[in-house]
């Protein structure tokens, strides 16, 4: 796959950037002694850990399908995103533990100019790299890259918030502003961290992806042909960039094996194009039955038992339904 070098390069860039910014932010904390700056530095520890695991997950997820992993190795990306979400939540709790006592025994920050300069530079780098990772993750269908990109953007907003807090302290001289900003940082990263963790759990549990299902149904409707009747029992499993799709569809019972095979091939190609990623399509063909006649638009059918009524576009609800078409739910 041509995009593997690009994926690995992006992952290494994320790790190296996080490592350098970690050292810069702890340097800023050493200079200022600010709890708000410390909160930003603690979040950067998480960036380094998740960046290292991102490199590993990209290396594993880009391996081809093998005998022991027939659906590929992409699930490690969901695990990587879950780890990142969990560590973000842990970082938020650590920040709160450091910041709350500072309300009762505050220590005024020092060397604010140098600290603001360092955090400003670190935040700008996070913004640039985060946007790059989001773009790369979307382009190469990598959930792990997208998750790390969102985290770096969160880190950018964190740094911006800390800088605003330091400037407010510099203007007002109110010592409690510093721990307050640290607590706000903790809450700010706690919410996206929880969402990221929950999303990864849903992915690992193979929860249905409505956007993916909609793309598949849209792809089917685009190539719908006479004789293709009532697709149903659609199931889609995602493993990183790899997808496995199961689909039942009814075809005229009098078609030859060659006609059925040609229809299967055309449907398979359409679904792979709709997914836009790697995967395999398993199509189970059912023979048509008399209740299907009102929705069958084959004009020359000699087996017709009822007049054609309509062949409206297939809906998501119909295509994912487990039951086959019956005479009592034919559209009049």
The CATH code of the domain that includes 115 is 1.20.1510.10
Angle, alpha carbons 177-28-16 (nearest 5°)? 125
Residue 245: its H or E element: strand 242-251
CB contact at 8 A, 234 and 220? no
What pLDDT score does 131 carry? 92
Nearest CA to 119 out of 24, 211, 188 is that of: 24
Q: Is 239 helix (H, G, I), strand (E, B) or coil?
A: strand
Cα separation, 329 vs 299, whole angstroms: 22
Same domain, 281 and 156: no
Residues 205, 210, 214, 220, CA torsion sign: positive
Q: What is the pLDDT of residues 114-127, one digit of tens each?
A: 888 998 998 899 89
136 plus 276 within the same structural domain: no
Look at strands 278-287 and 242-251 and give their pairing.
parallel
From 204, 235, 256, the end of a domain falls on: 204
Interval 244-262 mean pLDDT: 89
Spatial CA neighbour of 77 closest among 12, 148, 173, 29 = 148
**Are residue 129 and residue 155 in the same domain, yes or no?**
yes
| Phi, psi (rounded to 5 degrees) for 111 | 50, 50
Total domains in the chain come to 2
Domain boundary among 157, 176, 204: 204
The pLDDT of residue 323 is 57
pTM of the predicted model as reported, rounded to 2 decimal places = 0.62
Read off the pLDDT of each residue in 294-312 and give the average, rounded to a whole number: 79
pLDDT higher than threshold 50 for residue 284: yes
Least confident piece of the model among 86-90, 210-214, 246-250, 327-331:
327-331
Domain around 247: 210-329
Let me know whether 111 and 231 are in one domain.
no
Phi, psi of 254 (to 5 degrees): -95, 0
Residue 242 has pLDDT above 80, yes or no: no
């Amino acid at each position: 796959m041509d995009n593997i070098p690009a994926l690995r390069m992006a992952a290494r860039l994320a790790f190296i950037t996080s490592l350098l910014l970690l050292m810069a932010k702890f340097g800023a904390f050493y200079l200022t002694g600010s709890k708000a700056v410390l909160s930003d530095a603690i979040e950067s520890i998480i960036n380094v850990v998740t960046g290292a695991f991102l490199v590993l997950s990209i290396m594993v997820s880009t391996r081809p399908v093998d005998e022991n992993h027939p659906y590929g190795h992409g699930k490690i990306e969901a695990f990587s995103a879950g780890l990142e979400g969990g560590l973000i939540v842990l970082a938020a709790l650590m920040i709160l533990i450091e910041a709350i006592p500072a309300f009762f025994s505050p220590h005024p920050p020092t060397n604010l100019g140098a600290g603001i300069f360092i955090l400003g530079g670190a935040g700008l780098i996070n913004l640039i790299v985060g946007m790059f990772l989001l773009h790369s993750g979307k382009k190469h269908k990598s959930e792990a890259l997208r998750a790390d990109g969102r985290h770096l953007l969160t880190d950018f907003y964190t740094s911006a918030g800390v800088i605003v807090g330091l400037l407010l302290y510099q203007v007002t001289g109110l010592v409690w502003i510093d721990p307050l900003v640290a607590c706000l940082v903790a809450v700010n990263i706690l919410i996206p961290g929880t969402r990221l963790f929950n999303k990864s759990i849903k992915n690992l549990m193979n929860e249905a992806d409505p956007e993916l299902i909609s793309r598949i149904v849209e792809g089917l409707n685009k190539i719908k042909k006479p004789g293709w009747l009532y697709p149903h029992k659609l199931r889609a499993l995602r493993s990183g960039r790899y997808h496995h799709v199961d689909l039942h569809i009814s075809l005229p019972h009098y078609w030859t094996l060659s006609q059925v095979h040609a229809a299967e091939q055309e449907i398979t190609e359409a679904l792979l194009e709709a997914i836009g990623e790697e995967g395999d399509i398993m199509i189970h063909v059912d023979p048509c039955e008399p209740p299907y006649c009102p929705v069958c638009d084959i004009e020359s059918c000699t087996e017709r038992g009822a007049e054609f009524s309509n062949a409206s576009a297939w809906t998501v609800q119909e295509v994912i339904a487990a039951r086959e078409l019956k005479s009592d739910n034919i559209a009049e």
